[in-house]
């Protein structure tokens, strides 16, 4: 089904070359596939210091709400991201979860679980990645998350963990798709 859907969507847009027309197409694809309303957040290089539509706290609140509602959240990375951390710019990744966890020495860390649809190619190689020493320094975080996060076997599903500071440094833009849940057939219709 996927190749057929891909072919028909390319035909609808006017050809396969139309599938490669930048991030604006991502919004159209997400709208067509979900029936939802995409909201884009473009993060300039100097964000969150720049005068922008929202600050980091507001964006975290938006992410938390979207993930609680099971809305699709997609991120694309800055072009410079590939230079030092393994991420592939121009490729959409999906945000699966956002967790705040307490650290044993005090303070807390916000971690995002990100899915890379290309598997092992394009995985994060920074703090809190599957081979990061941060897991050794803070084993209580792995225990609180309740899943295996270390070693190559943890990365085999194409997901990785990333702290929000690194995320905001590497993200070029986010798309949150507000989906309207259809409750037809659930309870009386009158």
Q: Cite the beta strand spans of the chain per DSSP E.
A: 37-42, 73-77, 93-102, 108-115, 159-163, 171-178
Mean of pLDDT values over 69-81: 85
pLDDT in tens, 54-65: 677 888 899 999
Residue ranges, comma separated, of all CATH 3.90.70.10 domains in the chain are 36-178
Active site residue 85: no
SS3 percent helix, strand, coil of the chain, rounded to 5, is 35, 20, 40
pLDDT at 81: 53
Catalytic residue among 27, 91, 99, 173: 91
pLDDT in tens, 4-52: 776 777 787 777 676 655 555 777 778 887 889 998 888 877 655 555 5
pLDDT at 190: 43
pLDDT at 189: 45
CA Rg value for the chain: 18
Tokens found for residue 166: 């690194």
Tokens found for residue 13: 């847009």
pLDDT at 24: 59
Mean of pLDDT values over 75-84: 75
Q: CA-based diameter of the chain, in Å?
A: 57
Q: How far apart are CA 154 and CA 160, in angstroms?
A: 8
Rounded to the nearest 5 degrees, what angle is found at the Cα of 66, between the Cα atoms of 62 and 71? 150
Active site residue 182: no
Instruction: Look at the block and give the residue holding tokens 């600050």.
Output: 55
Catalytic residue among 6, 99, 116, 183: 116
Q: How far apart are CA 89 and CA 26, in angstroms?
A: 14
Contact 178, 37 (CB under 8 A): yes
Q: Which CATH architecture has domain 36-178?
A: Alpha-Beta Complex (3.90)
Euclidean distance between the first and final Cα of the chain, in Å?
37
Beta bridge partners of 112: 98, 162
């Amino acid at each position: 089904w996927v190749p057929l859907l891909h072919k028909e969507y390319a035909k609808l847009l006017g050809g396969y070359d139309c599938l490669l027309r930048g991030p604006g197409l991502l919004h159209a694809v997400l709208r067509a596939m979900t029936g939802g309303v995409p909201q884009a957040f473009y993060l300039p290089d100097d964000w969150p210091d720049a005068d922008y539509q929202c600050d980091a706290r507001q964006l975290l609140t938006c992410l938390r709400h979207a993930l609680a509602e099971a809305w699709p959240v997609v991120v694309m990375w800055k072009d410079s991201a590939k230079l030092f951390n393994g991420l592939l710019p121009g490729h959409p990744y999906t945000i699966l979860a956002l967790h705040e966890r307490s650290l044993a020495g005090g303070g807390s860390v916000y971690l995002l679980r990100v899915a890379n649809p290309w598997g092992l190619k394009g995985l994060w190689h920074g703090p809190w990645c599957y081979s990061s020493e941060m897991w050794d320094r803070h084993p209580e975080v792995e225990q609180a998350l309740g899943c295996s996060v270390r070693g190559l076997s943890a990365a085999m599903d194409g997901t990785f963990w990333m702290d929000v500071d690194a995320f905001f440094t590497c993200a070029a833009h986010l798309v949150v798709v507000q989906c309207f849940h259809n409750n037809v057939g659930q309870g009386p219709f009158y």
